[in-house]
Amino acid sequence: MTDQNIKPTQSEFEILQVLWKLGPSTVKRVNEALNEKKPKGYTTTLKIMQIMAEKALVTRVLDGKFHIYTASHKELQVKKTLVSNIVDQVFEGAAMELVIQTLGNYKPSPLEIIELKELIAQYEKTKN
Amino acid sequence: MTDQNIKPTQSEFEILQVLWKLGPSTVKRVNEALNEKKPKGYTTTLKIMQIMAEKALVTRVLDGKFHIYTASHKELQVKKTLVSNIVDQVFEGAAMELVIQTLGNYKPSPLEIIELKELIAQYEKTKN
DNA sequence: ATTAATTTACGAAGTTCTTCGTATTCATAA
DNA sequence: TTATGAATACGAAGAACTTCGTAAATTAAT
C-alpha cells in the first residue's frame, strides 16, 4: 500500500485536474483555468491550494515572487483511489456492478466496443 | 429527465441502502442495521432521516406511534445518478475511462467475463 | 527611495453535514 | 386519570469546506 489517504474534496479535485493538464503552475494560472468553467475568486483558489499544500495533495516551490504548485500524486493513482471508494461505498465491493451500471448508462461506440473486447481478451489469456 | 436532484450525502446514502435492503422501516430498525457496522446514536439517525424526508429522499407514514420510512427512489435510479456524476466530474464525461479504470483495478472472474461478453454482444446487435 | 502592482498570508463568515442532549408528544398500562 | 416508556421534535454545537476581504510582503519601475 502506498499513500491511501488521498481524499480531495470536489474543489481540490478540480484543481488537481488543472495541474495534471497544465503541469506545475502558479495560482494565477490555475485560477484562470478554473474560471473558464466557473468564476472563482483568486484568493479562493489560493486558499484552497494552500490547504492542499498542508494536506500534501500538492507540493510547492518558491520561484522568485510566486509559488509553483505541483500535484503530489499521479492522475491515475488518484482516480484509482476514487473509483475504489465508490466501489466500496456504493456497490459494497462489487466492482462489476459498477462496470455494468456504467455500460448500461452510456452505450459504447463501435470503436469503444472493440477496445473493450480487446481488454477482455487480455483477461482471458491471463488464466485465473 | 425525471428527478435529477438526487444527491444523498454519505450518511444519507447508507440509510437508503438499509431501506432498500429491509424495505419500509422504522428509525429504530434502520438504526439497528447501521449499528452493525458503526455505532450511531439513535437521535442522530432520526435527525438525518427527518432531513431526508424534508429533501424528499424518503417518504414517511405515521403508523400509530411511529413513522415508517420508505426510500423515494429505486436503488438503480440513485446509483445511476451517482455514477453519472462520477463520470462527469471525475472523467469529464468519458464513461469508458471509468469502465476501463474499474476493470483494471478489479480483475473480473471467468464468470464475470462471460457476463461482460454477453453484454457487449448485445450492444453489437443494436447497430449504432 | 517611494510607489505601484502582484502575490501570499491570514482571519472570519457562511454553508452543509453530523452528532447529540433535552424537551415534547403520545399510546398504553396501571 | 396519571404515570411510564417509546418515539419524535427541536435546537445547538462542532467539523469540514468554500468564499472573500484585507493586511502584509515582495518585486519592479519610476
Each residue of A56-98: pLDDT tens digit? Answer: 999 999 998 899 999 999 999 999 999 999 999 999 999 999 9
How many angstroms separate the CA atoms of A24 and A67, rounded?
10
How many angstroms separate the CA atoms of B79 and A39, rounded?
30
Residue A127: its pLDDT value, please? 56
State whether residue B101 sits within 8 Å of chain A by CB.
yes
Has residue B24 got a pLDDT over 70?
yes
Closest listed residue to residue A116, CA positions, set B87, B108, B84, B79:
B108
How many angstroms separate the CA atoms of A20 and A24, rounded?
8
Question: What part of B 61-80 touches A (C-beta under 8 Å)?
Answer: 79-80
Contact predicate A13/B90, CB 8 Å: yes
**Residue B3's pLDDT band (boundaries 50, 70, 90)?**
low
Residue A1: its pLDDT value, please? 47
Q: Residue B128 and residue A119: Cβ atoms within 8 Å?
A: no
Query: Is A84 within 7 A of strand D by CB distance?
Result: no
State whether residue A111 sits within 8 Å of chain B by CB.
no
Residue B2: its pLDDT value, please? 52
Has residue B71 got a pLDDT over 50?
yes
**Residue A124's pLDDT band (boundaries 50, 70, 90)?**
confident
- Over residues A46-61, the mean pLDDT reads 97
Residue B5: its pLDDT value, please? 78
Residue A44: its pLDDT value, please? 98
Tell me the percentage of chain B whose pLDDT exceeds 90: 80
Tell me the percentage of chain B whose pLDDT exceeds 70: 95
Bases of strand D lying below 7 A from some protein CB: 5-12, 16-22, 26-28
Instruction: Tell me the three state secondary structure of residue A60.
Output: strand
pLDDT tens, residue by residue, A1-17: 455 679 999 999 999 99
Bases of strand C lying below 7 A from some protein CB: 6-12, 16-22, 26-28
Residue B127: its pLDDT value, please? 57
pTM of the full structure:
0.93
- The C-alpha angle with vertex B14 and arms to B92 and B22, in degrees rounded to 5, equals 125
Cell of A30: 490555475
Contact predicate A29/A22, CB 8 Å: yes
Closest residue by Cα to the C1' atom of nucleotide D11? B47
**Residue B1's pLDDT band (boundaries 50, 70, 90)?**
very low
pLDDT tens, residue by residue, B72-93: 999 999 999 999 999 999 999 9
Closest listed residue to residue B119, CA positions, set A105, A53, A4:
A105
Q: Residue B108 and residue A96: Cβ atoms within 8 Å?
A: yes
* CA–C1' B17–C23 (A): 31
Instruction: Tell me the three state secondary structure of residue B74.
Output: coil
Long-range contacts of A108-114 (CB under 8 A, 24+ apart): A108/B95, A108/B96, A108/B99, A108/B120, A108/B123, A109/B128, A110/B128, A112/B96, A113/B120, A113/B123, A113/B124
Mean predicted lDDT score pLDDT of chain A: 93
Count of A–B CB contacts within 8 Å?
Answer: 114
pLDDT tens, residue by residue, A27-46: 999 999 999 999 999 999 99
